[in-house]
Chain A
Amino acid sequence: MNHLTDFEVFLMLSVLKVVVVLVITLLGVAYTVLLERKLLARMQNRWGPSRVGPFGLLQPLVDGAKSFLKEDMNPLAVERPLFILAPIIALGCALISVSVVPFGAVTRVRGVDLFQIANVNIGLLVILGVTSIGVYGITLSGWSSNNKYSLLGSLRSTAQVISYELALGLSLVGVVLRAQSLNLRVIVDSQSAHGALSWNIFGGFQFVAFFIYLMAAFAETNRAPFDLPEAENELVAGYHTEYSSMKFAMFFMAEYANMITVSCVATLLFLGGSTSIFGHIFDGILNTPIANAIFPVCWFVAKVFAFLALYIWVRATLPRFRYDQLMSFGWKFLLPLAMANIIVTSLVLAVRG
């Protein structure tokens, strides 16, 4: 690799990182679906998918092949350009936000960080911005379908996402105040001193913010107990009623990719990112470069999947909210609570600092 210039190395490694992260995220999406079906089944005393491969492990691949081979139907009355654009926006935005997430400790090869695609100063705002663009996927899909159930579902969903985006953004301000930066790497580093004790959720006393983030994130990703946009007993299937084949699969993947993104953000901001639970106690053991590169990634993945399991657990447990309950919960409870959290956090920081 020595005869290559720095720029060539940067270019090659960047393309490699993008491809690897994309493939892993899509695989993660596929297997989160399987995890959800298996866990839900276990919680309801069923088996879940068990026929394809050992423990049903090949089920996601077969599902993907099936939706790929299904007939791609376009109803006659749809607004065609937007009907096709909507799932692309939804999936694209869901996948783009992974690009600023740091997956592991800083591991440089010729100046290129291996475990983060782009280290942006305003990484957190980039994620928020990309998710706010993702709303268009849902909005446009409902309108372009020319179907009243789709339109109602997408209106509900848009209103819900916009409302909860406020609480979500405000809940993160406390963490940003503590870390004094919007750079995700710096936010992670600010929680790395004493393992779990210095995570924002415990040592940082941001558990109120974590609670708000949790609620708002469930609503942002249209998941139970806030899955009103696709309330099947009222709206058939909500905004993706008219979609079939791969276009439906793209919405489906976007939902799970959003879940993964939200779990990544929760991990980075509240659960210490890729740092170990035990802090620096076991630093002396296995102190080789490869182990130092791999263990943080394992921690990160474990935390993300723990958060995903929480998602699924909640889905299996809680019934769906009513729409007016959803709105009053978001505006009258979460938003004031988030603001109170910001004020208290900044007061404490001002007194101590």
Chain B
Amino acid sequence: MQLALFIVFGALALGGALNLLLQRHPIYSALSLVVVMMSLAVLYWSLGAEFLAAAQVIVYSGAIMVLFVFVIMLLNAGKEEQTQGSRAAYSVGFPGAAAIFCLLSFVFLSERGSLQSTNIGGDLSSAVDNIAVLSAMLFTRQLLPFEVTSVLILVAILGAVVLARREQ
């Protein structure tokens, strides 16, 4: 059951990612990215990380990608055009992406011993309530990185405001 879940949504995530690259129209690419995000959320859930899954859906698919789609709609972006530069990017990009994929999988496979592993759906069969554990971790041992990240986001927001108000 859980293996089927993993296979279906893993395939969906891969298919969405490929579709994101192959689609010519930006809005379809953005929607494929939404599919990828949602499939990843299901995969997180099947690994027992419920809160992460919900946050993934709410933050990424529900807020950030809506803004992407919003901007694409507002700019009324047309279809992607083929130029000399984009062909060059194709010829460099695909081998480059393949090389990075090979490198990453090599590192993960060779360092498999030192990385921790989990069973697919192993945590799904027993009831987990990990929000309390997660928040305790976040607000005690990881407090400094957590707060620094929020300051970073604040800086980004302020930067956006400054850029938007410069014309006055």
Contacts and interface: CB of A to CB of B under 8 A. Distances in A.
A122 B131 contact: yes
A129 B62 contact: yes
A181 B129 CA distance: 9
A139 B73 contact: yes
Nearest to B53: A122
Interface in A153-171: 154-155, 158-159, 162, 165, 169
A93 to B, nearest CB: 10
Contact of A125 (B58, B67, B70): B58
Interface of B: 27, 31, 34, 38, 50-51, 53-55, 57-58, 61-63, 66-67, 69-70, 73-74, 127-129, 131
A122 B51 contact: yes
A150 B54 CA distance: 31
Contact of A132 (B63, B128, B129): B63
A133 B128 contact: no
A133 B57 contact: yes
Contacts of A155: 70, 73-74
Q: Tell me what chain A mostly uses at the interface: helix, strand, loop, or mixed.
A: helix
22 contacts: A121-B50, A121-B131, A122-B131, A125-B51, A126-B54, A128-B54, A128-B62, A129-B54, A129-B57, A129-B58, A132-B61, A132-B63, A133-B61, A133-B62, A136-B34, A139-B70, A143-B73, A151-B73, A154-B73, A155-B74, A158-B70, A159-B70
A132 B67 CA distance: 12
Contacts of A132: 57-58, 61-63, 66
Given A128-B58, A151-B73, A158 B127 contact: no
Given A133-B57, A162-B66, 19 more contacts: A82-B27, A125-B51, A128-B54, A128-B62, A129-B58, A129-B61, A132-B62, A132-B63, A132-B66, A136-B34, A139-B69, A142-B73, A143-B27, A151-B73, A154-B73, A155-B73, A158-B70, A162-B63, A165-B62
A172 interface: no
Contact of A135 (B51, B66, B127): B66
A122 B54 contact: yes
B26 to A, nearest CB: 11
Nearest to A81: B28
Contacts of B55: 125
B71 to A, nearest CB: 11
A132 B57 CA distance: 8
A139 B74 contact: no
Count chain A CB atoms within 10 A of each CB in B27, B50, B58 and give the residue with the most: B58
A260 interface: no
Contacts of A135: 62, 66
A154 B54 CA distance: 25
A250 interface: no
Count chain B CB atoms within 10 A of each CB in A125, A128, A154 and give the residue with the most: A125
B34 to A, nearest CB: 7
B69 A136 contact: yes
